[in-house]
Copies of this chain bind each other. A is one copy, B any other.
Amino acid sequence: MTDDATNHHPAHLELGVCDYPEQVSPQNWAEDARQQKALGLRYVRIAEFAWSRLEPQPGEYAWAWLDTAVELYAAAGLEIVFCTPTAAPPAWLIEQHPEILPIGRDGHTKTFGSRRHYDFSSPVFRQHSRRITRALAERYGQHPAVVGWQTDNEFGWGDTAHSFTPAARQGFQTWLQQRYGSLDALNTAWGNVFWSMEYSGWAQIPLPNQAVAEVNPSHALDFLRYSSDQVAEFQEEQVAILRECSPGRFVTHNYMGFFSAYDHYRVSRCLDFASWDSYPTGTLEALREWKLADPALALTYARTGHPDVTAFNHDLYRGMGTGKPGSGGETVPGFWVMEQQCGQVNWAPSNPLPPQGAVQLWTQQAWAHGADAVAYFRWRAATSGQEVLHSGLLRQNSTPDRGYPEVQALKVEDLPLGRVPARVAVLHDYESLWLYNMQPHADGMNYWAQVFAYYRALRSMGQDVDLVHPDSDLSGYALIVAPALTLMTPDRAAHLAAAAQHAHMVFGPRTGFRNESGGTPRTDSRAHSPRCWACRC
């Protein structure tokens, strides 16, 4: 991030809202902006999913309406977070290039009609992604009211991080060729002698979605890495354009809680900080399904979400940060809650109304966990489409919904000092997650549940916890816990051994059971004595 961008690290929590002016009559815009500012909001996030209005016909941009909206927000004193609109490619683009459509695990081509109907591996969509990003960034990138960017929206939503198109297959084969150089190296790394899975040509390597039964975990692991790289590269292409055309603005992405279809550390590398979309009542199924806590608590917390679950995700996405200078000069990772639930949602199996005070509580909790800003989703409830049962700060009929007065009553300047540095680190990496969940070995075993069990125990002892990557800087922690660090490399083992010089270490089951390729450490020669990879004991 450039120096200018760091200006956005706030002295106190800042508030914002997600708005979709294109979805309401323009006669509302000026009053909406005024009302937003009066409510104490600083930021408005816009243009997400607006592609069909930005470019109604191929190559014909329609800026007038957005120019007007931007000026009205600016005039009201709001700061704008712009979104690249790529999460919703328009119908004409799909008609021109149906090969953009992703193919699901089941082998069926997804259609237009929802969102995220694109394959990250599609070269033609990559080109259009760059084109629309550049057009938008050139038009608004240096507008004084524009302070930052969100790339796309919720990468991977709707099971779209993994696509099984011919382009993905070709891309995966090329990626493997670059990674391994030779088929011998790949066959050895994957241990393909098992079940005669050895390849004698790159073109023989299938995508891992239609095998007779589970594929080699090494095969699946590399496909997940490949897919993560596609998401990352897709975003990097947009970010490069935004850096060029919109200097001094931050760039972030709004992730989803617990989402694990790609490596969020890998994807976050090019960002200034990570954001996530916090919907506490929507996480109860995760609690129930993964048994994160006593399932009976799902009812207790039905209307607020389980507090540790929300906190866990705050700590998780804070940990994606590459680190920014704090007020005292030290590095303080920050994050945003880019979408904050402010009433009932619509997408969980059950969507109860949050109780009085929940919106304030969630906002304060975000601040306590280090959020720089919280933006409510959304200004007005939608009057059409898939989310009409989702609340906003305003109802469909323009009257305030229940979150509104709670936001109004918030005094962000009076909130106690935010997060204090944690002395405990819990180690998390997506590659271990994938290996764990691919082969849980026991019914109900789940990586998140395993990590969360330690997290909760630490929280119940009053400890602040950092969730960090095992290869990150571990100095400064008194206790380092690795609940499910099953993938171990010699470098990682050395790094942990060094950390063990100053910190207590706790390791969970299957620590170091897998090597970088997803196999087990190969110690089949009696010449090598076995030893623990984790602590070299």
Contact = CB atoms under 8 A, between A and B. Distances in A.
B204 A530 contact: no
A159 B214 CA distance: 13
Interface string A503-533: 0000000000010011111111111101000
A363 interface: no
A37 interface: no
Number of copies: 3
A203 B441 contact: no
Interface in A234-291: none
B28 A385 contact: no
A108 interface: yes
B53 A193 contact: yes
Given A91-B198, A396-B520, A439 B204 contact: no
A199 interface: yes
Contact of A523 (B90, B111, B190, B397): B397
A457 interface: no
Interface string A74-99: 00000000000100111110110000
Contacts of A20: 194
Contact of A193 (B23, B106, B192, B518): B23
Q: Of A20, A203, A204, A207, which is in contact with the most chain B CB atoms at under 10 Å from its CB?
A: A204
Contact of A397 (B113, B210, B530): B530
Contacts of A158: 212-213
Given A191-B385, A386-B214, A396-B520, A113 B25 contact: no
Interface in A110-132: 110-117
A386 B90 contact: no
Contacts of A193: 22-23, 52-53, 384
Contacts of A57: 200
A524 B397 contact: yes
Q: Of A49, A157, A195, which is in contact with the most chain B CB atoms at under 10 Å from its CB?
A: A195
A383 interface: yes
Interface string A368-398: 0000000000001111111111000001111
Interface stretch (A316-324, A344-352, A404-412, A470-478): A344-352
Nearest to A159: B212
B201 A92 contact: yes
Contact of A194 (B92, B107, B384, B399): B384
Q: Of A51, A116, A192, A526, which is in contact with the most chain B CB atoms at under 10 Å from its CB?
A: A526
Contacts of A207: 111
A495 B115 CA distance: 38
Contact of A190 (B89, B191, B384): B384
A529 to B, nearest CB: 8
Interface string A16-28: 0000101111011
B194 A382 contact: yes
20 contacts: A22-B193, A28-B526, A49-B196, A52-B198, A94-B204, A95-B201, A110-B210, A112-B206, A113-B206, A116-B212, A159-B212, A190-B385, A191-B382, A191-B385, A195-B386, A351-B441, A383-B519, A383-B520, A383-B522, A389-B439
